[in-house]
């Protein structure tokens, strides 16, 4: 819900990782800044601030979006999942384990955004090809790993989900 609190600030109510947040923000406050600075959810990284690198990817109402391209007021009344909300009941998401096992991690800066996009991708693609995984990853810049381990990790989780 959006309510005008003052001329320069707007009250934004949003549910993030299952918790309700209510904050007064300037209308031009980016969602990435809102998450990091107002909500203390620093797992969402900000890299290019142009939507190119994908580090700031979160899920808004289930869809992966670049939080540096969205205003916090646009997310009012939405359900947001950040990388902090990816784990369930104290257990890491299978993608988090697979990235570690397949050596898809190095500096980790790009990892939160990749995790958020890959989680959405695997919900929509139960048996993805390597080409489909690479296409999804084309929206993310990783300067450390060369993508091989990341592709292997996503394929591993897809196979495990399919075999269940």
**Whether 41 contacts 31, CB under 8 Å:** no
Alpha-carbon span 120 to 137, nearest angstrom: 12
**Whether 105 contacts 148, CB under 8 Å:** no
Residue 138 has pLDDT above 80, yes or no: yes
Of the chain, the percentage scoring pLDDT greater than 90 comes to 82
Residue 4 has pLDDT above 60, yes or no: no
Three-class SS state of 130: helix
Three-class SS state of 9: coil
DSSP-derived pairing of the beta strands 57-60 and 63-66: antiparallel
Residue 66: enclosing H or E segment and its boundaries?
strand 63-66
Alpha-carbon span 142 to 108, nearest angstrom: 9
Give me the chain's average pLDDT, please.
Answer: 93
Does the predicted model carry a pTM greater than 0.75? yes
Stretch 3-28: mean pLDDT = 88
């Amino acid at each position: 819900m959006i309510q005008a609190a003052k001329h320069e600030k707007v009250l934004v109510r949003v549910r993030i990782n299952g918790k309700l947040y209510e904050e007064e923000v300037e209308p031009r406050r980016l969602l990435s800044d809102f998450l990091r600075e107002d909500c203390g959810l620093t797992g969402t990284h900000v890299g290019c601030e142009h939507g190119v690198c994908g580090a700031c990817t979160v899920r808004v109402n289930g869809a992966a979006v670049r939080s540096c391209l969205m205003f916090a007021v646009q997310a009012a009344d939405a359900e947001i999942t950040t990388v902090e909300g990816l784990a369930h009941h104290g257990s890491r998401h299978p993608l988090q384990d697979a990235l570690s096992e397949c050596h898809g991690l190095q500096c980790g800066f790009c990892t939160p955004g990749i995790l958020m996009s890959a989680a959405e991708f695997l919900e929509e693609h139960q048996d993805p090809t390597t080409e489909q995984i690479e296409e999804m990853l084309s929206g993310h810049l990783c300067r450390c790993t060369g993508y091989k381990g990341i592709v292997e990790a996503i394929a591993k989780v897809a196979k495990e989900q399919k075999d269940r």
